[in-house]
Structure 1
């Protein structure tokens, strides 16, 4: 009787469980590849993140997403039709330094979509097949990539957990970095992969300070909302680039809550400031723009050190077949949630 010869499944390690990493890992998994995903944070999603407070949730990173690519539409319809809702946002305004509307949204502006009850539910849903396969390692930071000590053609990852515990995960045919550009570059240099690291040198990602404000008194009878009648706006104020009334999004708690995202230049200038100082300066700017001068019941700030892509890589992904190392992320082509999805998907399709 002839013996059956089965080709062993290719083993892939994906570093980063943001939208790019999840799209890449899920695509490889569906193609029959063995995948392990390593995420430094305690939950998946990257900048598609939500902060939970006693007054309701705040989408601290991505405020919404667009759906331009048919493949993104198909993925959302197949995996999360119950989680996605359109957010009207009162047709986003553009404001001057004093909060005056200087430009209304163009009539053909892309629709704004959000996940319910908060943005982090979308990456959580996409991570479920990986978790079910015990293929998602949360709270696990990859510190170094090296050739496998036993099988030099393969890779091993050196990792550190939230409690400082260190492990080595070995036997990978491929390693995919789906983390922000500077993190990827640092990891590649530490791992003595300078040729790939050099390709990322020109990518520029700006930090972003995010302010969260809650006004529970505005939910009392007779006082439904504070300040302007619009729910979202882009601003030319030197400190503030974006404002959104979180409570206006579908499926959100009714307590009046605002998210304020600082401009890239201001965030970069104040990247090393303490949160208290940032809260004071951004709250003042928020009052100047919206006219809301009431004292918030909650005022918190969070910093994203790599938030908005100012200069992208200029191509959807990088892949070195001889090394078996690839890179993907929104920073390859832009800064949208959809850009991250497209980058991760196309890299997986290229190597699957």
Structure 2
């Protein structure tokens, strides 16, 4: 009788992180016949492809859109027909420091796409088979990776939290490989806390990722018949204002509802300078800058801010993923090759291919 080789036998694999990179990695491994469990500390899959729901509609407070350049990403999107729709933001404006239109950006060769009804919809769609199979552990934070005492060649994960019981502690065991699909600082922290894969830690060290404060505003009064069009005529702009890098009219995106809503993303430099400021102070400063840039002086019915500590890659790793064959631990994420949604997908895909 001949046993299957370890290269072809199904493996038990843990993926930590349910953003685009983690789900792309997990779905590829499942397609290759492996058994995969995904863990994430958040309440839903998506990572920075996030959607905030409010009484006034949704906000894409992380990634604003995506483009498609790699044929492998285009092929994967064929499995999610109808979810992603084009967004007419190719005519994005570039604003000077006073909020005046300095120029209209040249038409992009890459159409801008947004999932509907929110940016998180695509990742959630790809994660659904895992969730349906009980392989998606949400509200569960992995605190330590260690050898399985029952089988020293395998790994076990110590976790805190689970839906409804945030203080619960649990151990998930029997994994042949572990993939960390998280922001690079969190990946380093978990590896160091677990005293594992020192080589990966050294390789990740040069990577730099900038933070971002995001402001979300809603103006339902703009829907009144007597109200003139609120604010500028453009739907998206890059800004040279010292506080603001990007603005977009959420309600201009397909499938988002008609209430006037804006998402404002602060510049990396300003976000870093004010990283530890309290939320009300950040909100007041960004709202003032929003008024300066757009000319909108109406009082928003809804205003909120969100801080992304790890938002945009400044210095990438320079390759699609990291894989320590000796320990069977890997790492992936957009920070490996860039900051685009597609970068996260390609990183997760190639991480899975290295394992499978």
- With structure 2 as the length reference, what TM-score do the two structures score? 0.96
1:143-191 Cα distance to aligned partner (Å, 9 max, x none): 0001111111111111111511111111111000000000000011111
Question: How far apart are the structure 1 equivalents of 2:69 and 2:228?
Answer: 34
Name 1:245's counterpart in structure 2: 249
Question: How far apart are the structure 1 equivalents of 2:237 and 2:168?
Answer: 44
The answer on whether the counterparts of 1:84 and 1:116 sit within 8 Å (CA) in structure 2 is yes
Question: How far apart are the structure 2 equivalents of 1:245 and 1:307?
Answer: 20
1:183-232 Cα distance to aligned partner (Å, 9 max, x none): 00001111112221111111111111000000000011143631110000
3-state SS of 1:17 partner: coil
Q: Does 1:278 align with 2:282?
A: yes
One of 165, 168, 172 as aligned partner of 2:168: 165
**What is the CA distance between 1:107 and its match in structure 2?**
2.5
The answer on whether the counterparts of 1:47 and 1:61 sit within 8 Å (CA) in structure 2 is yes
Shift in CA distance, 344/90, structure 1 to aligned 2, threshold 3 Å: closer
**What is the CA distance between 1:102 and its match in structure 2?**
1.5
1:294-321 Cα distance to aligned partner (Å, 9 max, x none): 1100110011110011111111000011
- With structure 1 as the length reference, what TM-score do the two structures score? 0.97
In structure 2, list runs of 5 or more residues that go unmatched: none
Name 2:86's counterpart in structure 1: 86
The answer on whether the counterparts of 2:90 and 2:108 sit within 8 Å (CA) in structure 1 is no
Name 1:106's counterpart in structure 2: 106
Name 2:76's counterpart in structure 1: 75
The total of aligned residue pairs comes to 349
Name 1:133's counterpart in structure 2: 133
3-state SS of 2:152 partner: coil
**What is the CA distance between 1:275 and its match in structure 2?**
0.9
**What is the CA distance between 1:351 and its match in structure 2?**
1.5
Which residues in structure 2 correspond to 1:200-211 (within 5 Å)? 200-211=204-215
Q: Does 1:46 align with 2:47?
A: yes
Q: Does 1:174 align with 2:177?
A: yes
Question: How far apart are the structure 1 equivalents of 2:90 and 2:34?
Answer: 44
Question: How far apart are the structure 2 equivalents of 1:301 and 1:285?
Answer: 14
Question: How far apart are the structure 1 equivalents of 2:229 and 2:169?
Answer: 50
Question: How far apart are the structure 1 equivalents of 2:216 and 2:253?
Answer: 15
The answer on whether the counterparts of 1:90 and 1:231 sit within 8 Å (CA) in structure 2 is no
1:238-271 Cα distance to aligned partner (Å, 9 max, x none): 1000000000001111000000000001001111
3-state SS of 1:40 partner: coil
Name 1:192's counterpart in structure 2: 195
Question: How far apart are the structure 2 equivalents of 1:303 and 1:150?
Answer: 41
Shift in CA distance, 263/123, structure 1 to aligned 2, threshold 3 Å: same
Which residues in structure 2 correspond to 1:1-352 (within 5 Å)? 5=3, 8-78=9-79, 80-89=80-89, 91-162=91-162, 163-193=166-196, 194-223=198-227, 225-352=229-356
3-state SS of 2:153 partner: coil
Aligned CA RMSD, in angstroms, stands at 1.2
3-state SS of 2:190 partner: helix
